[in-house]
Amino acid sequence: NAGVTQTPKFQVLKTGQSMTLQCAQDMNHEYMSWYRQDPGMGLRLIHYSVGAGITDQGEVPNGYNVSRSTTEDFPLRLLSAAPSQTSVYFCASGGGQGFQFFGPGTRLTVL
Amino acid sequence: GENVEQHPSTLSVQEGDSAVIKCTYSDSASNYFPWYKQELGKRPQLIIDIRSNVGEKKDQRIAVTLNKTAKHFSLHITETQPEDSAVYFCAASWMDSSYKLIFGSGTRLLVRP
């Protein structure tokens, strides 16, 4: 099993550009989530999903969209990137016991 | 919504000493409390967790205690080793249909050889 995978590992965008961060898991987990990690701020929940077709907002959802068309994939879309979205993004998945497995992260810089 | 506060933000101990990290949560409905360890440049990894029907859980040199009345839980690391140096995050969740995890701001632990 590959676990939770994320692409790309690094990305540089210009202000106003759009992009999609990819996340996939092969553990048949129902629960998936996106976090951003900024220095001194810990991990903040952006969006989460409890199954295909079901998504909801977390603590910091503004500027991000998600969809969950399959159990395996949970992409995060930035519609118009801003410098404030410079961060490390982690995707995670969980199978219902509560704990979650994290992907390796995507380091995003917005100029 | 849930809010999790974590202290201290940094902790420096001598190798072999114990380290204690404390967290408080705001939502009394929270019933699941995991701890994650994150090494520099790596992803967070679960090291131990506790559910609200248990007061303490141990795994070798690591233990977690939970006080539901006071709404706080703590991570205890005994006989610390240099490889314990990392950032540690606590989190809280209510295990209904959402399984949302809300994290504390992290504690940077440095174990001095």
Q: Which of B101, B102, B105 is most worth mutating to test chain A (most A CB atoms within 10 A of its CB)?
A: B101
Closest-approach residue (CA) in chain B for A55: B98
pLDDT tens digits for range B83-113: 999 999 999 987 665 678 899 999 999 999 9
Given a cut of 90, whether residue B52 has pLDDT beyond it is no
Distance CA A16, CA A12 (A): 12
Cβ-based contacts of B46 with chain A (< 8 Å): 99-101
Given a contact cutoff of 8 angstroms between Cβ atoms, the answer to whether A77 and A89 are in contact is no
Whole-number pLDDT of residue A42: 87
For residue B83, the distance in angstroms to the closest alpha carbon of chain A comes to 20
**Interchain contact, A98 vs B1, CB within 8 Å:** no
What 3-state DSSP class applies to A84?
helix
Interface membership of A39 toward B (CB under 8 Å): no
Percent residues over pLDDT 90 in chain A: 86
Closest CA to B23 of B41, B2, B40, B38: B2
pLDDT tens digits for range A60-83: 999 999 999 999 999 999 999 999
What 3-state DSSP class applies to B88?
strand
Q: Which of A99, A101, A106, A107 is most worth mutating to test chain B (most B CB atoms within 10 A of its CB)?
A: A99
Q: Output the six-digit token pair for B32.
A: 């699941």
Q: Phi/psi at B69 (nearest 5 deg)?
A: -65, -45
Residue type, A48: Y
Q: What residues contact B4, with CB distance under 8 A and at least 6 apart?
A: B23, B24, B25, B26, B90, B91, B92, B102, B103, B104
Strand partners of residue A90: A35
Nearest neighbour of A45 by CB, restricted to B43, B89, B100: B100
Residue A61: how many CB atoms within 10 A of its CB? 16
